[in-house]
Amino acid sequence: MLMRTDPFRELDRLTQQLTGPGTWSKPSVMPMDAYRDGDAYVIAFDLPGVAVDAIDIDVERNMLTVKAERRPTAKSDQVQMELSERPLGVFSRQIMLADTLDTEHIDADYEAGVLTLRIPIAERAKPRKITISGANDRKQLSG
């Protein structure tokens, strides 16, 4: 038998039992990190125990939607559950992406329970040098 000493974990568990697992119509929120790495914007979602085929990524205009479902593991009739703290059900996150991101070229990678999306910064949003021409330059070009 397992022993717990963290009273806040017990409160979280009771809250989840009352609200129930996430469903497709009312999903739970998944934790994420977002940061810029060079010429890309990176978003990492924690999805431990979720199969790749249970993850859905969709982009419509600038709205990125990630949905995932953690399904219960198959159990035999001999299993007697002692403790169940890992949440099951559907998880979802919607993020409004800036116009400066190239949503046509998003790369997705799933490793060790972390879904990582790399979204390139659009060429039009990258800093660029503007050449200044003077009156003398114009005369040389036209003459």
Asked whether the predicted pLDDT for residue 133 surpasses 80, the reply is yes
Per-residue pLDDT at 2: 39
3-state DSSP call for residue 94? strand
Per-residue pLDDT at 1: 38
Instruction: Kindly report, residue by residue over 104-116, the tens digit of the pLDDT.
Output: 999 999 999 999 9
**Cα–Cα distance measured from residue 90 to residue 142, given in angstroms and rounded to the nearest whole number:** 66
Asked whether the predicted pLDDT for residue 120 surpasses 50, the reply is yes
User: Distance between alpha carbon 119 and the CA centroid of its chain, in Å?
Assistant: 11
How many CA atoms lie within 13 Å of 11's alpha carbon, on the beta-carbon side?
Answer: 3
Instruction: Kindly report, residue by residue over 14-50, the tens digit of the pLDDT.
Output: 555 555 566 656 667 788 999 999 999 999 999 998 9
Q: Where are the alpha helices (DSSP H) in the chain?
A: 7-19, 135-142
Q: Which long-range contacts does 7-15 make (Cβ < 8 Å, 24+ apart)?
A: 9/85, 13/85
Asked whether the predicted pLDDT for residue 135 surpasses 70, the reply is no
Question: CA of 58: how far to CAs of 42, 49, 50, 65, in Å?
Answer: 16, 21, 17, 5
